[in-house]
């Protein structure tokens, strides 16, 4: 029972640490990683900053994700075509990513 509790503790600690890691967006073929708001992120998948750097990707020169490490990120309040909430994170004051900002 004690081993189970210790294992459970470490699993929960690992999940907590992983959830605090910064999420960036990069495509498998691309060389750069982006913020969720970047217009150049396109169809990129989310990954941790550490994973992007480990894969040899560098910071985008347009959105500069390394400068936004301390920005408070929130989930975009926009709706997708199927009516679900957008999954991108944004630091924009209006609470919407680049795809859902009014033009």
* pLDDT at res. 70: 60
Beta strands 58-59 and 89-90: pairing type?
Answer: unpaired
Q: What is the pTM of this model?
A: 0.51
Domain layout of the chain by residue ranges: 22-90
HSE at residue 90, side-chain half, CA atoms within 13 A, is 20
For residue range 28-84, what is the model confidence (pLDDT) as tens digits?
A: 888 999 887 788 877 788 888 888 989 999 999 888 887 766 667 788 888 888 999
* pLDDT at res. 19: 42
Question: Where do we find the tokens 């982006």?
Answer: 34
């Amino acid at each position: 029972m004690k081993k189970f509790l210790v294992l459970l503790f470490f699993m929960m600690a690992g999940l907590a640490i992983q959830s605090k890691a910064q999420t960036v967006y990069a495509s498998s073929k691309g060389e750069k990683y982006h913020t969720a708001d970047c217009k150049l992120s396109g169809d990129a998948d989310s990954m941790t900053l550490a994973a992007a750097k480990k894969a040899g990707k560098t910071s985008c020169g347009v959105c500069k994700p390394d400068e936004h490490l301390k920005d408070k990120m929130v989930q975009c309040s926009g709706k997708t075509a199927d009516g679900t909430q957008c999954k991108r994170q944004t630091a924009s004051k209006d609470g919407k990513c680049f795809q859902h900002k009014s033009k």
